[in-house]
Structure 1
Amino acid sequence: MNGGFPIVLTADRTLMSSYFGGMFLGFSSCVPAGFIPSPLYYKIFSPPVRVDGRGAAVFAPYGTRKIESALLEYGFNEEDVIITSPERLRRVIGPNTKVVGITETDPLGIGPATTTFRGLFGGLPLMAWEFLRTLLKIRLSGFKPKIFVGGPGAWQLENQEIRRMLGISCVVIGEGDTAVPPLIEKAFRGEKVPEVVYTDPVLLEDIPLIRRPSVCGLVEIARGCGRGCKFCTPTLKLFRCLPVDYILKEVEVNLRSGSHDILLHAEDVLRYKAKGFNINKEAVTSLFQAVKNFPGVEFVEISHFALSSVAAAPQLVEEISDILDLDAKNWLSGQTGIETGSPKMAKQHMYGKCKPFSYEEWPDVVVQAFEVLSENCWVPVSTLILGLPQETEEDVWDTIYLVRMLRNFKSLIVPLFFVAMGSLGEEKSFTLSGMKPAHVELLFECWEHNFKWLPALVREYRGVKSLTRRRILSLITWFASLFARQIMHLCREDYGNNIQKFISDYETGKVRKGILRFTKFYDRILKTVTRTQNKIARPYLKFEEFWDI
């Protein structure tokens, strides 16, 4: 379309990818930009989505697909709306373009994962860098459409100064299915749109069906959580479950693209149609059977589950494993939260996460759940939170002991810095400067756990289908393991887990032992990349202190 599409939807480059069918490879975008050279990173981890002759993305993030459907159901014409990749923005934006909508997970790189990587390794987070590049491409188009931003990371753009520096017209925080179309209609009419819009949960009957395939065949089965963890935002949403026939319609949409894998998404797939915290085994097994037996489906994956649900319904986990024909090499993975090994912290910050068990039982619940998962060929990707408000050294050591108890279960444990959001938005976020020796020991315990299991997981992960790509990932894992083990040894033995002093000495060249002697050249490259990015970002943003750049 020579004049451009009136409504252009997109997401940053890290989100507009199929990740070769391995959704969990997407977490690699939390690292600092340049940490892995961009050509290699996008070749190995994150290929661009395919586009058709018009410039429309064949696959797109699920949330972006929902907005596309919502706009069409509201009355906008098919020829007026397009979802495209960032690389094609200048091709589809023109004088007729009124609105560009961007889906973002972590636009400023201040989410838990990016904050942790930035704190440890420095540099501008890749997600934030790609968000800036997306905005820059819109500007370079030579036109001035209104820019709308939504998605899980929209809360990061509440600050008026940041929004205006970025040139963002409207930020939608919350579910946009019913809120976004009227806002875009206002923009079409030339009316003023509010800079920030907070939305309410959407009724089930108002959630539109996606009309085109989503990245990795993702299909939503439930929204919200309802467990009430203070440090989280999904927990604030009303818990709702979509009917099976609705889910199967979206499965069919994804299969049209030639994909054969379906990823079921919920904050806890095991609570599908649950009554409170009482698991509805029949509903969950019926759902998995219906999806697995749908013509064309070869494998069913999941996004998230709760450890308390696993411990409460071990037979359900076994039944799902039977339905999906899992075995030791053909396992199922999903993200879950341990967060802490301290009953005191569990009581204070995540009382509902333990249900139907008590907070005193939380460490035992975690171990029991890991045992059930291991027996049934599930591989949890678990998170821990460092620096929760009012956390003591004793609480940290409780978590260390728990991590050690999990060492023999095939899994990953990802330590994250606490980020002030949700109902703890007024608290102070945790940073590198606040790390005590116990925090460092917990970090290293997680690293040791992960490097024990990563080689096998890379070999077996079905999301990596190319042998060459698998070998490169294995090589990266091997080198990272050597590098991390050298860091752990030196930091423990020579610095007494004083990681701040260790990093300071490393950056000034005082630490060059073992494999660290060979990282000097790589450091120079990374610093050159970072300086170049900062040079571009500074005149564009003018608030360097926000990212410490």
Structure 2
Amino acid sequence: MSKVILTAERSLMSDYNGALFLGFMSTGPTSMIPQRLFFRLIAPPVKEENGRAKLAPYGTRKIEAALLENGFSEDEVKVVNPDKIEKHITKETKIVGVTTNDPLGLGPASSTFSGETGFVNQPSYNRVKFEELMRKLRRFDVKVVVGGAGAWQLEEERIRRKYGIDVVVIGEGEKVVPELFRKIIEGEDVPEVVYGVAVPEDEIPKIRRAAIGGIVEIARGCGRGCKFCIPTMRRLRSRPLEDILEEARVTARDKDIVTLHAEDVLRYKAKGFTINKEEVLRLFREVHRIVGKVGISHFALSSVASAPDVVEEISEILELPNKEQKWLAGQTGIETGSPRLIEKYMPGKAKPFSASEWRDVVIQAFQICSDAHWVPCATLIVGFPDEREEDIIKTIELVEDLNEYKSLIVPLFFVPANELGEESRFSVRKMKSYHWELMLTCWRHNMKWLKPLAKDYFEGLPFASKIFMKKFIDWVVDRVSKSVEEYILQQIEITR
């Protein structure tokens, strides 16, 4: 029987019918779609095989692999669906490890659209499901260890006590978790907060089973140094190609897509901020030989603008557009149209260009993406400390100039990190008329492109889910959109 059970809150334990970007809907308020429908049609649970989850979050798979590489046996470690966790916990179970990305709904997306700071003062799906899992685990005599990208939200003792969490692991866990778990099993005292250490690129453990979304990590860290973003503070580490291909083969057994993950996939094995064309193209070419469909998680607009030929050749390798893949979508950050804010908070974001060139870099990158059949899913940051009206006006003008390019542009509230204090956190109550004008500009841009993007993206969904999502998008664009515009216009007048 398993001594260690690994799981994640329910919003993470779904493959979203193969439409990975639908996972962002879990940051929305629970009033958006009834939970029963949301977790049945949009986020169905992962399937199990021989009592184990066939798919799991990539972070969970990494911890599983780290344990197996450090003396734990397959019989001792099991990854399971949280909905059925009570069936897997036995008298032999000593630890339940939980992966979470946003347990309290404090991340940029959740805090913008839901909760006390957001547009709809209701908890997000991910927060509700995290709290539900924690309540369930209190019934068992096990040590609860929580880690993942959102673990920083659980660092305070009062919060850990509230949720019955014994240990929180903050940061990269592969080096510290095996010894931590071994001590817990042997009854030794352990710290209640454990900080991970950076894992050398050639020591990152290789996953043994497929991850949700077909995620395969190609690099860690970023190094651009944006003051509000933890990954950008970490040194860029590119993994050996052989390790990536091994994980791609593991993934291809259960998924028809491999999604290459990094903060910027174009900087794989980069030399500073100079794109390593040969290595990037080799990566895509070799992965494409293993699996027909290759996706990406993130890319930087400055990298696109600096290497348009690489973007074009990647599309040629993937034979875009084709019947299975009309375009390649990835998350990217515009963040602002203000060179002043770029220079102050993210001077490395524009490199190899200068902060003063940022506007032209963004427009050029969107044009390159459009020509290569790439779709940017871009974020903006609203509410920087000492933000001025002129900064937002420049961002509005930039978004207007991007209107012709197929894309989504999502404004998110500023969430402080590192040296920027909690008092700088932004909320809907702090919005001025110019913030609302930016929201209106983004809303109109997204309503223009939402239907054509959804038509392509939902094509591979199961019939019931596809029909539901089509009707939901039609409802948003044809009926809700006008009401939203009217509400935003009212807020512009009220806050003027």
2:303 maps to what in 1? Answer: 309
C-alpha RMSD of the superposition: 1.5
1:385 maps to what in 2? Answer: 381
| Residues 28-39 of structure 1 mapped to structure 2, 5 A cutoff | 28-39=25-36
Task: Report the Cα offset of residue 69 of structure 1.
Answer: 0.8
Out of 214, 217, 222, the residue aligned to residue 219 of structure 2 is: 222
1:187 maps to what in 2? Answer: 184
Identity %: 49
Out of 469, 472, 477, the residue aligned to residue 473 of structure 1 is: 469
Task: Report the Cα offset of residue 396 of structure 1.
Answer: 0.6
Task: Report the Cα offset of residue 480 of structure 1.
Answer: 1.8
Q: Indicate how the Cα distance of structure 1 residues 187 and 262 shifts in structure 2: closer, same or farther if over 3 A, else same.
A: same
Matched, 1:243 2:206: no
1:536 maps to what in 2? Answer: none
Q: Secondary structure at the match of 1:341?
A: coil
2:320 maps to what in 1? Answer: 326
Q: Deviations over 1:430-460 (max 9, x none)?
A: 0111100000010111111111001001101
Q: Secondary structure at the match of 1:423?
A: coil
Report the AA paired with residue 226 of structure 2. C
| Residues 516-535 of structure 1 mapped to structure 2, 5 A cutoff | none
Deviates more, 1:37-46 or 1:429-438: 37-46
Report the AA paired with residue 307 of structure 2. A
Matched, 1:120 2:114: no
Task: Report the Cα offset of residue 426 of structure 1.
Answer: 4.6
CA distance in 2, matches of 1:449, 1:423: 34
Structure 1's unaligned 5+ residue stretches are 501-549
Q: Is the 8 A contact 1:311 1:365 kept in 2?
A: yes
Task: Report the Cα offset of residue 42 of structure 1.
Answer: 1.7
1:485 maps to what in 2? Answer: 482
Q: Deviations over 1:154-199 (max 9, x none)?
A: 1111111101111111111110011101111110111111111122
2:443 maps to what in 1? Answer: 447
CA distance in 1, matches of 2:475, 2:458: 22
1:9 maps to what in 2? Answer: 6
TM-score using structure 2 length? 0.96
Q: Deviations over 1:342-367 (max 9, x none)?
A: 00000001100100000000011000
Q: Is the 8 A contact 2:436 2:492 kept in 1?
A: no
Equivalences, count: 490
Out of 46, 54, 58, the residue aligned to residue 58 of structure 1 is: 54
Report the AA paired with residue 139 of structure 1. R
Task: Report the Cα offset of residue 389 of structure 1.
Answer: 1.0
Out of 65, 70, 73, the residue aligned to residue 69 of structure 2 is: 73
Q: Is the 8 A contact 1:16 1:85 kept in 2?
A: yes
Q: Deviations over 1:118-149 (max 9, x none)?
A: 21011111111100111112123xx2211111
| Residues 135-534 of structure 1 mapped to structure 2, 5 A cutoff | 135-140=134-139, 143-257=140-254, 259-294=255-290, 297-327=291-321, 330-461=326-457, 464-481=460-477, 482-492=479-489, 494-498=490-494
CA distance in 2, matches of 1:221, 1:487: 40
Out of 90, 93, 96, the residue aligned to residue 97 of structure 1 is: 93
Q: Indicate how the Cα distance of structure 1 residues 429 and 464 shifts in structure 2: closer, same or farther if over 3 A, else same.
A: farther
Q: Indicate how the Cα distance of structure 1 residues 485 and 63 shifts in structure 2: closer, same or farther if over 3 A, else same.
A: same
CA distance in 2, matches of 1:444, 1:491: 6
Q: Deviations over 1:374-409 (max 9, x none)?
A: 011000100000001110011011100000000110
Q: Deviations over 1:240-298 (max 9, x none)?
A: 001111111001111222x221100000000000000000011000100001012xx11
CA distance in 1, matches of 2:319, 2:473: 28
Q: Secondary structure at the match of 2:13?
A: coil
TM-score using structure 1 length? 0.87
Asked which structure has the greater CA Rg, the reply is 1
Q: Deviations over 1:492-529 (max 9, x none)?
A: 2x5544379xxxxxxxxxxxxxxxxxxxxxxxxxxxxx
1:534 maps to what in 2? Answer: none
Structure with bigger helix share is: 1
Q: Indicate how the Cα distance of structure 1 residues 185 and 374 shifts in structure 2: closer, same or farther if over 3 A, else same.
A: same
Q: Secondary structure at the match of 1:120?
A: coil
Task: Report the Cα offset of residue 487 of structure 1.
Answer: 2.7
Q: Is the 8 A contact 2:434 2:492 kept in 1?
A: no
